[in-house]
Chains A and B, each alone.
Chain A
Amino acid sequence: MEILDQITRHYNYVITIFLMIAGVYIVVAKSNMIKTLIGLSIFQASVYLLYLSPGKIIGGTPPIIGEGYEVYSNPLPHVLILTAIVVGVATLAVGLALVVRIHEAFGSIEEDEVLRELEHE
């Protein structure tokens, strides 16, 4: 029962790990490039959760000194993840732009079809 207790108490990590593995699985298993990018986004989202969920302290306030407030949350994880989200959006945009160009050049966004066509060249 102890292990069950561990899992329920750390459910945020369970969700993080699930998203992480699901994301990588989609990237590896799917040949459709859009789905690959979706998997990549899910994988990145799991990292956001990895940083943010331990950053929450129950009863913690923003780190501004004030009378009567003793417990403060560290704002750094949020700032880091804001940056990571922006990076993720940029990566997704570049990835989608490449998929559009690949579609124009090959007429397909299935990776195996594209690679098969390249073999015939």
Chain B
Amino acid sequence: MRLDTILRVCTKLFLPFIWVFALYVQLHGDFGPGGGFQAGVIAAAGVILYAIVFGKSAATRIVPKWLVEAMVPLGVLLYAGVGVYSMLMGGNYLDYDVLFHSPPTHYEAVHGQHWGVFLVEIGVLITVTGTMITIFYAFAGRGRREDRN
């Protein structure tokens, strides 16, 4: 597929929209349907599309294997980190109310809830993107000579 001009041009045209759509779904998740899981899959789909059309080695130049493999634990670490931080602020584990103010008033609690969900969803985005691309890299090209070392 590396020589197919239409596919290559279309892919390049699509990619920015795919990633912007991923961000839209991610940020919209606070108010409506959407969130880290969906956005993560969409963002990963962009990378996977690129890898299918331009080859896996071209994709690993942009998004290297070590990066996606590190993203998997890093996202969960961010998620768990928010929980631990809220514990340090005196609340229960993952209690977003106390993220900024302890003890919180009603509006301060809402402020904390807002940021807590936001950060946690970012964590989910990072992990899901990393996981999806890791799965793709692990399966794609497995057994081919160029990838054996």
B37 x A82 contact (CB < 8 A): yes
When distances are taken between beta carbons in the complex, the residues of chain B under 8 Å from A2 are none
A100 x B37 contact (CB < 8 A): no
Main secondary structure of the interface of B (DSSP, over half): helix
| Complex interface bits, A25-54 against B, C-beta within 8 A gives 1, otherwise 0 | 000000000000000000000000000000
When distances are taken between beta carbons in the complex, the residues of chain B under 8 Å from A57 are none
Please, which residue of chain B has its CB at the minimum distance from the CB of A93? B135
User: Chain A interface: which of B59-67, B81-89, B138-146?
Assistant: B138-146
CA distance A54 to B60 in the complex (A): 44
Please, which residue of chain B has its CB at the minimum distance from the CB of A86? B37
Main secondary structure of the interface of A (DSSP, over half): helix
Chain A residue total in the interface (Cβ 8 A): 7
**Distance to closest chain A CB from B128 (angstroms):** 8
When distances are taken between beta carbons in the complex, the residues of chain A under 8 Å from B143 are 104
CA distance A37 to B37 in the complex (A): 23
B139 x A96 contact (CB < 8 A): yes
When distances are taken between beta carbons in the complex, the residues of chain B under 8 Å from A7 are none
Please, which residue of chain B has its CB at the minimum distance from the CB of A100? B142
When distances are taken between beta carbons in the complex, the residues of chain B under 8 Å from A86 are 37
When distances are taken between beta carbons in the complex, the residues of chain A under 8 Å from B37 are 82, 86
CA distance A100 to B135 in the complex (A): 12
Q: At the interface, yes or no: A97 with Cβ under 8 Å from chain B?
A: yes
Please, which residue of chain B has its CB at the minimum distance from the CB of A101? B142
Please, which residue of chain A has its CB at the minimum distance from the CB of B128? A86
When distances are taken between beta carbons in the complex, the residues of chain A under 8 Å from B139 are 96-97, 100
When distances are taken between beta carbons in the complex, the residues of chain B under 8 Å from A100 are 139, 142
CA distance A21 to B94 in the complex (A): 39
| B23-57 interface (Cβ within 8 A of A) | 37
| Complex interface bits, B109-149 against A, C-beta within 8 A gives 1, otherwise 0 | 00000000000000000000000000100110011000000
**Distance to closest chain A CB from B138 (angstroms):** 7
CA distance A100 to B143 in the complex (A): 10
Known A97-B138, A100-B142; further 7 A-B contacts with Cβ < 8 A: A82-B37, A86-B37, A93-B135, A96-B139, A97-B139, A100-B139, A104-B143
